[in-house]
Amino acid sequence: MKKSFVFAAGLISLAGLAFTLSSGQVTAQKKGKTRPMTTAQLMSGLVKPQLGVLQEQLADEKTPEGEDGWKAVTTSIALLNESGHIMMEDDRCPDKIWADACEVLRKATETALSKAEQKDAAGVRESIAGISASCKACHTEHKYKKK
């Protein structure tokens, strides 16, 4: 029950962070140098929806139902991993905090994907803590700090 609460609270916090980010607040990097996607669009269009899928499929000690449920989980985790790469490309990365957070995100999602491929819902939920930590580290420095 405690792990379920922590998992749900983490996902709710991440969804709130992504929503706030997408609502127009200033971010460290509004977009890359050559690509048009803004960081806010990346968060609201890619990160937030994928976190929502994970919350829907894994919250409250749930186990994804059937192959379609597990496919949704593995796809979402893989897309979150890819977002960790996108955030580093096109000269978006402003500093070591951002770079380190992206590395933590990529490693946590690699672990989560491995657990999901084994259909280990508890293992995926445990890996989500790293995803949450990566978001918090970057958002604390770049989103919530008054510049």
CA nearest neighbour of 125 among 115, 117, 133, 134: 115
pLDDT digits (tens, 9 = 90+) for 71-125: 999 999 999 999 999 999 998 899 999 999 999 999 999 999 999 999 999 999 9
User: Within a 10 A sphere around the Cβ of 14, how many other Cβ atoms?
Assistant: 26
pLDDT given at position 128: 86
pLDDT given at position 17: 46
C-alpha Rg value of the chain to the nearest Å:
15
The reported pTM is 0.79
pLDDT digits (tens, 9 = 90+) for 6-43: 554 455 445 444 444 444 444 445 788 899 998 889 99
14, 131 in Cβ contact below 8 A?
Answer: yes
User: Within a 10 A sphere around the Cβ of 85, how many other Cβ atoms?
Assistant: 11
User: Within a 10 A sphere around the Cβ of 96, how many other Cβ atoms?
Assistant: 9
